[in-house]
């Protein structure tokens, strides 16, 4: 058998494999990050120090609980559509954190979580509030969410680094900041599950969370600083895709 005929036979035999690979590629891709290794350990250690520094100024028991529990998620890998310590996306992390801390069931998607909250200005942001981000300036769409921990920092699930700490005012996220939202009734729900030991308004104990008016976005004033382009751009793309897929399944 000559070499030309051998190559022809190999090519024919490879066609089913190529079709299989093509078919696999067309399926939904699971994106993960935040794996093991020295780099991840260093990032987690740095994030833990930053969060611990922010925690020093937090006196409210519920707010401390939120930050401490959020710190327990640091280093968790990013998992498209996930909501556990085995892997999570941004809205899954927020939903799970509030379920663990306050026994509240938040909506599954970023946009629905923003509507669930009541609007607050950036200067009135309080520890435990949700912070929302989007793509282009002037657009009200949100595609990413994190939990504010004070001192201009948030804990969130980044597709490039897993659950990590980032600034909400500077760099990549500072350029894309959209709004602050407060989870109404969180203090009362937390107190009801912790013997009424709320550091805020104890009258909120046993409060049933009422429906709230959808929150309008608060656009951050233009910053003259040149935008920082980083790999976190994929966060917005992936989070927006997660919202579109899961909104019809997890809105209850």
Give which of 138, 163, 140 is closest to 235, Cα–Cα.
163
Task: Give the separation between CA 113 and CA 246, rounded to whole angstroms.
Answer: 13
* Residue 144 appears among annotated catalytic residues: yes
- As a whole number of Å, the end-to-end CA separation of the chain is 66
160 burial (CB, 10 Å; 0-12 / 13-18 / 19+) is middle
Task: Give the separation between CA 159 and CA 168, rounded to whole angstroms.
Answer: 16
Residue 132 · residue 145 · CB < 8 Å: yes
Task: Give the separation between CA 183 and CA 142, rounded to whole angstroms.
Answer: 17
Q: What DSSP element (H or E) covers 192? A: helix 186-192
List 6, 90, 102, 117, catalytic entry: 90
List 6, 8, 117, 144, catalytic entry: 144
Residues recognised as catalytic: 90, 144, 156
């Amino acid at each position: 058998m000559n070499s030309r005929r051998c190559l022809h036979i190999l090519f024919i035999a490879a066609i089913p494999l190529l079709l299989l690979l093509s078919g696999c590629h067309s399926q939904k891709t699971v994106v993960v990050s935040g794996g093991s290794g020295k780099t991840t350990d260093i990032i987690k250690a740095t994030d833990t120090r930053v969060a611990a520094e922010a925690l020093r100024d937090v006196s409210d028991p519920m707010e401390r609980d939120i930050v401490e529990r959020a710190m327990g998620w640091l280093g968790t890998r990013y998992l498209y559509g996930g909501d556990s310590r085995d892997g999570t996306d941004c809205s899954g992390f927020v939903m799970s954190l509030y379920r663990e801390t306050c026994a509240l069931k938040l909506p599954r998607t970023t946009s629905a979580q923003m509507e669930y909250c009541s609007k607050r200005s950036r200067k009135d942001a309080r520890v435990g509030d949700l912070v929302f981000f989007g793509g282009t300036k002037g657009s009200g769409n949100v595609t990413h969410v994190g939990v504010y921990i004070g001192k201009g920092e948030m804990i969130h699930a980044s597709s490039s680094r897993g659950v990590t700490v980032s600034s909400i005012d500077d760099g990549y996220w500072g350029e894309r900041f959209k709004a602050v939202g407060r989870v109404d009734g969180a203090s009362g729900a937390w107190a009801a599950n912790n013997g009424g030991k709320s550091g805020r308004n104890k009258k909120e104990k046993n409060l049933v969370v009422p429906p709230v008016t959808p929150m309008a976005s608060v656009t951050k004033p233009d910053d003259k600083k040149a935008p920082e382009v980083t790999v976190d751009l994929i966060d917005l793309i992936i989070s927006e895709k997660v919202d579109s897929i899961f909104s019809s399944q997890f809105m209850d």
